[in-house]
Copies of this chain bind each other. A is one copy, B any other.
Amino acid sequence: MTLLTLTHAQKLTSAACETAQEMGVPMTVAVVDVGGHLVSLARMDGAAFVLTEVAIGKAFTAASFGVPTAELAALFQGRTQFTTSIQVATQGRFTLSRGGLPLVVEGHTVGGIAASGGTGDQDLAVVRAALAACS
Contact = CB atoms under 8 A, between A and B. Distances in A.
A92 B88 contact: yes
Given A89-B54, A89-B93, A108 B3 contact: yes
A42 interface: yes
A44 B49 CA distance: 23
A81 B108 contact: no
B38 A35 contact: no
Q: How many of these chains are in the complex?
A: 4
A75 to B, nearest CB: 9
Given A2-B1, A96-B81, A108-B1, A89 B53 contact: yes
Contacts of A5: 45
Interface string A40-82: 1111110011111110010011001110000001000001011
Interface of A: 1-3, 5-6, 10, 17, 28, 33-45, 48-54, 57, 60-61, 64-66, 73, 79, 81-82, 85-98, 105-106, 108, 119-120
